[in-house]
Structure 1
Amino acid sequence: MEAMVNIFRFYPLEKSMKEDCRSGEHSEPCSPNRSVGLGISRAFPEADAEIDLVDRSEGSDPSSFPHPHSQNTVTLDLTQLLSSDITESGSFHLGCTIWTTSLGKLLQALPIMAFLIDQSCNIAAANRVCERLGSDYEKIVGKPFASILSDLTESAKAEETVKEVFVTRQQRVLNAALGIKPIEIWGRITFRSIRLGTERLVMTLVEDLTIEQRQLLLEQKHNHALTTEISRRRAVERELVATEERYRRVVESANDSIYTTDDRGRFTYLNPVALNQSGYAVEELVGRPYYLLIHPDHVEEVIKWYSSQMAERTPQTYYEFPIVAKNGTTIWIGQNVQLLLKDAQITGVQAIARDITERKIAEERLKASLKEKEVLMREIHHRVKNNLQVISALFTLQADHVDEQKAVDVLRSANARIKAMALVHEKLYGSGNLAQIRIDEYVTDLVNDLIGFSDESTAKIALDIHVDKICFSLETAIPIGIIITELLGNTMTHGFPEGGGGTVQVRLRSLDRDLFELVIRDDGIGILGEMRPENSGSLGLELVAAFARKLQGEVRFDTSEHTEFSMIFKQAEVQGWS
Structure 2
Amino acid sequence: MIEENEIITDATLDETGMNGLRDRIMPILETTSKICEATASLVYKHEDSEISIVTTYEGSDEPVVSAINKISGMLDPGDGLSIIQNIRDHEQASSLLSDVEIEKVQFYAGASLKSETGNNIGVLCIHDSKPRELSEDQKQLLRVMIDGAKAQLLLYKQPELSKDSGKKLKTYTALLKNSADLTFLLEPEQGKITHVSEGVEKELGYSLDMLLGKPFTDILLKEELDGDTIDQWFLIAKQHKGRYTAAVRFMDHQKRKRSYMCEFSADENHWYVTARDISDRKEAELGVYELKDKLQKIVSVATDLIYQLDWESGDFYWGDELTDILGYPHTEKFVNYDWWLDKIHPDDLKRVTHNMENTVQGDKQKSKLVYQIRTFDGSYKYVMNRIYVNRNKDGMTENIIGAIVDVSDLVELEEHSKRNEKSLEEKETLLAEIHHRVKNNLAVVSGMLQLQAYNETDERVQQKLIASTERIGTMAKIHELLYKSSGFEKLRIDENIEQLISSLVSTHDESLDLNVSFDMEPVELNIDYALPCSLIVNEVITNVLKYAYDDGDSGSLEVCLYQHEETVTLKIRDDGKGLPEDFNVEGKGSSLGLVLIETLTKQLKGTYSYTSLDRGVEFKLVFDKSDNKVEESNSE
Q: TM-score range by the shorter chain?
A: 0.3 to 0.5
TM-score by length of 2: 0.33
TM-score by length of 1: 0.36
Larger radius of gyration: 1
